[in-house]
Amino acid sequence: MAEKNAKKSDLNIAGRVARYFIDSKLTILVILVAVLAGLLAILNTPREENPQIVVPAANIIVSKPGASPEEVQQLIVKPLEAILQGLNGVEHTYGMAMDSLGVVSVQFAVGQDKEDSLVKLYDRIMSNLDRMPPGTRQPLVKPVDVDDVPILTISLSSNTLGDQKLRSIANDALEHLRRIEGVSVSFIHGGRPRQINVQFDLDRMRNYGVTLLDIRRILEATNIDIPSGVLIHRNRVSTVSSGGMLKSATDVGNLVVALRAHQPVYLKNVATISDGPGEIERVYRIAYGPAFSGPRPADIENTAVTIALAKRTGTNAVTVASHVLTELDRIRGTVIPSGVTVNVTRDDGAKANDAVNTLLEHLSIAIGTVVLLLIAFLGWRAASIVTITIPLILFITLAVGMAAGQSINRITLFALILSLGLLVDDSIVVIENIYRHYAKKGADKLTSAITAVNEIGKPTNLATFTVIMAFLPMLWVTGMMGPYMGPIPFNVPVAMIVSLAIAYTVAPWAARKWLTVTGGAHAHEHAPGRLEQGYVRYFTRLIDEPAARRNFFVVVLALLTLAMLLPVVRLVDFKMLPKNNTNTFNITVDMPEGTALEETDRVVRLVGDIVRAHPQVATYESTVGEGGVIDFNGLLRGAGLKRGPHLGEVRVNLRNKHDRWNSSIDIAMGLRKPIAQLAQQTGATIKLVEDPPGPPVRATILAELYGPDYQQLLKLAKNMREQVFGKTADVVDIDDSNTADVTEYHIHVNREKAALAGVLPAQVAETLNAFLAGYDAGAVHIEQEKEPVTIRFQIPQADRVEPSDLRKVFFINPVGARVPLTDIADIIRDPAAKPILHKDQRPVVYVTGELAETSQVYAVLKMWWWLRSHDLPGNVKLKQYFMADPDTLGYAVRWDGEMRLTLDVFRDLGAAFMVAIVLIYLTLVGYYRSFATPLIVMGAIPLTLIGVLPGHAILGQYFTATSMIGVIALAGIVVRNSLLLIDFILDFRREGHGLREAVIQAGATRMRPILLTALAIILGTFIMMFDPVFGGLAVALIFGTFASTVLTLFVIPLVYYLWARREQATGTG
């Protein structure tokens, strides 16, 4: 009894845990719970393609009619930016001062609470309303919400029905679809709503002496119906309402607007009234490419209306999308007539599901290869025990993720694949040691297992914690990359802790059940293979011959130096993240401002012709007059605000990536040349926008020009565009924020003449606005109509072509005399004032560019270098900045865009690496109670570079942010290897072996398990190598593990030997 007690107190945590679980029924329960929780997590956790990045943002729109861009800048944009900059959590403010309108976009820091930020923003604006300059309208705050990005877009198209009918069908369909649980924002994109068009005939108005003002007043006073109260009679209450609501176009036409010679003048006498769609301001179409397999309509391009649906935060995109699509199928043929073609053009649910399923499949392949490896090394009995633990660990990790509110996304699964190589280690070490103990003479199944676990408990704990230490600092990566990469520092440590727990509970329990006590048949342990013999032979030479040792160190150092030189000679290139193979990309068409809708439409159709020629294109959706349905990338690029007849967009949907050979990157590359030719022919700026693999940026290369004079900045931008961007290789889609020169007709009201004639300038402005831009004078009341049917005043297109058409406009002054517009105003032709952009309270002009295939780092460096030694025309020397705020006293350029993101990410990951190393060091110092030994253990970390960098060079892989994560992970992994080596040396020495003997034996004994774990990592991560984004991580891990493992086996014991020998010498002498 006493002996047993003593033994119990001897046990460390690992031993005690193992002792408790080894023959407990609880273990079975643990397994059951883990399996159930895991299955639940796989089925129920919301799936996404990429982790959600929360960036609260809003646009504040303030209009001040009549103010020039300069005025808006001074009176609205600047003060508003200053007010908002002071708000807590605001990262950037972007201002835009246009004619009569100021827009300030405020972007909060990543990860700020959305609701809190918006409440603060409203509060801030409301409390500063008194500072608004007179004549400004109430500011409008429009939140830009990532959750409002549609996950599903359904295109309804038909050329026979027309866009108005399509829109009304879409409205009916939307009513059904948005009832589905989990759908949040939904809207219809495209199609003109029904309205009552009142098209004035200026000649007849003059004849009848009716002015716009009269008509408006009468219409507004007529089109009203209000409850007037109740009548009570014979115990009954009847409500009374009164008014003369207009219910149809005929009602509107029969409105009496004036009396002439005692005869009523009806509205239809002075205007043409029609019930139907309004003027075309935007056009939406869909067309089919060669990869489309369904039936094709007779026309190439077909008028389309898109139903867009977003999901509620936290719901599963996969289920929401599939429920909506089921409902869509149900209402086809009834709500949606059979003549309407239905295409689902965006389905983020299916995309997420596909990404997750593909990776789950990859994960199982990785598990399979690791299991094969285990069988080869450990034999099937031990291997099967470890195999059982793998899914258990993954299941629990997924369940923890679900409980923590994470989603299953690509990054989560990559984190699991990454941790796969690491998490088998703990179980392997435990099983191996139990196996070793069972092979001893007189082994008892129960106690031997506990002793075995107890023995390796401490180093295993430590090794696991060093890996966790390596990953944890990554949680503090800032910017959008933080939440994007977030699942890695969350899931890997969780998986590691769980693997430790399983190794101490389930592994010994299973070992006791299935491993057999061989009792003295030392088949496994004391049969050093050829590998070990070779190792011992070579290693002994290194120890005994100083010359060989020196040569060895020289070779290692030379390799390290050569590896470090690879990035310098550009055999390894840096890049933030490579592009991904996707199913869709965007082409934006930006014609010079002032281009008519029809001309833009012509160019967009030409773009369509180029796109349609590609065999992998399934469908493409063209939008003219505004952007397409917004996506996450567009949202952060600020595409949502863009609108105007000179803008167009073509969303290209490719054949599913599983069914095609070429990646979307190659397809986009192939299209770039014809598109660039078209751009040159038509004078349009056409950009191919591919979805970024990571966080989106406004442009890959973004040069922000700052300086005291805005006109000079615009000139600089032009020079920069031509002299710098245009002359740098591989820079494509070059653009700047300057707008084309547009002529403007300014109706200058002569104040004196107007006053004498009795017409107020405001009357002039209002009338002209209604005639030219159109004016909504209320709505007719039609029941059953899902959208308001507005009454729109305008003069017909044919009557507003040239400034001379304005001569027909007249006013009636208080004495009843007619005053023609031309009597009181002059029409002046000027160039229109250009908008002024701001960023963080500084006027800025942007020059942007994309990279066709190479990394932006080198293009930017090249331009940076060029600008350092050259002046721009006009002897302007630009001061260049990367991170710091620019000095706006002189002219300066700051390189933002992906360059900034890259610098930030590598800075953060570098810092995380440093912190990880310090943490590992401190942990090791605590463990060894020595300052020098941890340094030897950590000597393995630089050795990884000998593998990582040449690995990237050999495979032609970019050194990306994921490669950097690989390097950080490697620090944890290799420390674990050398730690086990040093631990064994210390153990051997404690057992009384000599230093030389201990050092040699440690390597030989630990070689097998070290190689096994290294191979597990290499094979486990192998599948990741084919992923364009995470390939870097895989390359870093595979080559880094390989090189460092091989070298660690020699370098670490050798360095330890030399150090210990010196210690002994100084100690004794």
Partner 1 sequence: MPAPRSRFLLLMAPCILVVACGQETPKPADTPALSRPFVTPQERNGRVLVPQTVLTNLGGSPGVYVLAPDHTARFRMVRTGKSYDGRVEVLSGLAGDEVLVTGDVHDGSPIQPR
- The residues that touch partner 1, with contacts defined as CB under 8 A, are 157-164, 166, 191-192, 277, 280, 283, 285, 288, 290-291, 296, 298-303, 358, 361-362, 365, 578, 580-581, 596-599, 601-602, 605, 612, 615, 657-659, 661, 663, 665, 797-799, 801, 955-958, 1023, 1025-1028, 1031
In whole angstroms, give the CA distance from residue 750 to residue 744. Answer: 18
In whole angstroms, give the CA distance from residue 921 to residue 978. Answer: 13
Q: How far is the CB of 299 from partner 1 (least distance, A)?
A: 4
Q: How far is the CB of 474 from partner 1 (least distance, A)?
A: 25
Cβ-based nearer residue to partner 1, 682 or 790: 682
Instruction: Enter the tokens of residue 976.
Output: 């674990």
> What residues contact 49, with CB distance under 8 A and at least 6 apart?
348, 351, 352, 355, 409, 410
Q: How far is the CB of 606 from partner 1 (least distance, A)?
A: 10
The answer to whether the CB of 311 falls within 8 A of the CB of 829 is no
Please classify residue 1061 by burial: count the beta carbons closer than 10 Å to its beta carbon, then call 0-12 exposed, 13-18 middle and 19+ buried. middle
In whole angstroms, give the CA distance from residue 645 to residue 601. Answer: 9
Q: How far is the CB of 168 from partner 1 (least distance, A)?
A: 12
Q: How far is the CB of 746 from partner 1 (least distance, A)?
A: 22
Q: How far is the CB of 519 from partner 1 (least distance, A)?
A: 45
- Degrees to nearest 5, angle at CA 717 with 713 and 723: 135
Q: How far is the CB of 1015 from partner 1 (least distance, A)?
A: 19
Q: How far is the CB of 21 from partner 1 (least distance, A)?
A: 38
The answer to whether the CB of 538 falls within 8 A of the CB of 458 is no
In whole angstroms, give the CA distance from residue 378 to residue 631. Answer: 50
Cβ-based nearer residue to partner 1, 251 or 1027: 1027
Cβ-based nearer residue to partner 1, 299 or 545: 299
DSSP 416: H
Q: How far is the CB of 599 from partner 1 (least distance, A)?
A: 6
The rounded radius of gyration (Å) of the Cα atoms in the chain is 37
Instruction: Enter the tokens of residue 726.
Output: 């245009």
Q: How far is the CB of 178 from partner 1 (least distance, A)?
A: 25
Cβ-based nearer residue to partner 1, 537 or 658: 658
The Cβ-side half-sphere exposure at 255, using a 13 Å CA radius, reads 29
Q: How far is the CB of 809 from partner 1 (least distance, A)?
A: 17
Cβ-based nearer residue to partner 1, 416 or 429: 416
Cβ-based nearer residue to partner 1, 852 or 1046: 852
| Cα-Cα-Cα-Cα dihedral sign, residues 604, 606, 609, 614 | negative
Q: How far is the CB of 265 from partner 1 (least distance, A)?
A: 25
Q: How far is the CB of 303 from partner 1 (least distance, A)?
A: 3
Name the residue type at position 708.
P
Q: Which long-range contacts (CB under 8 A, 24 or more apart) does 558-565 make?
A: 559/946, 560/942, 560/943, 560/945, 560/946, 563/945, 563/946, 563/948, 563/949, 563/950, 564/945, 564/949
The owner of tokens 């107020």 is 760
Chain centroid, CA 222 distance in Å? 52
In whole angstroms, give the CA distance from residue 688 to residue 676. Answer: 10
The Cα-based distances of 124 to 81, 84, 128, 137, 828 in angstroms read 12, 7, 6, 17, 41
Cβ-based nearer residue to partner 1, 280 or 986: 280
Q: How far is the CB of 857 from partner 1 (least distance, A)?
A: 15
Please classify residue 521 by burial: count the beta carbons closer than 10 Å to its beta carbon, then call 0-12 exposed, 13-18 middle and 19+ buried. exposed
Cβ-based nearer residue to partner 1, 424 or 1023: 1023
Cβ-based nearer residue to partner 1, 19 or 189: 189
The answer to whether the CB of 650 falls within 8 A of the CB of 589 is yes
Cβ-based nearer residue to partner 1, 191 or 1009: 191
Cβ-based nearer residue to partner 1, 301 or 908: 301
Q: How far is the CB of 247 from partner 1 (least distance, A)?
A: 25
Query: Are β-strands 731-736 and 685-690 bridged in parallel, bridged antiparallel, or unpaired?
Result: unpaired
Bridge partners, 238 (sequence order) = 231
Among 692, 47, 54, CA closest to 412: 47
Local structure of 966: helix, strand or coil: helix
Q: How far is the CB of 600 from partner 1 (least distance, A)?
A: 10
- Degrees to nearest 5, angle at CA 364 with 358 and 366: 105
In whole angstroms, give the CA distance from residue 823 to residue 812. Answer: 12
| Region of 778 on the Ramachandran plot (φ > 0 left; ψ -120 to 50 alpha; else beta) | left
Cβ-based nearer residue to partner 1, 157 or 505: 157
The answer to whether the CB of 908 falls within 8 A of the CB of 479 is yes
Q: How far is the CB of 784 from partner 1 (least distance, A)?
A: 22
Cβ-based nearer residue to partner 1, 65 or 290: 290
Instruction: Enter the tokens of residue 163.
Output: 């866009």
Among 81, 55, 57, CA closest to 836: 81
In whole angstroms, give the CA distance from residue 974 to residue 467. Answer: 9
* Backbone torsions φ then ψ of 240, nearest 5 degrees: -120, 130
Q: How far is the CB of 596 from partner 1 (least distance, A)?
A: 4
The answer to whether the CB of 621 falls within 8 A of the CB of 190 is no
The answer to whether the CB of 271 falls within 8 A of the CB of 208 is no
In whole angstroms, give the CA distance from residue 419 to residue 434. Answer: 24
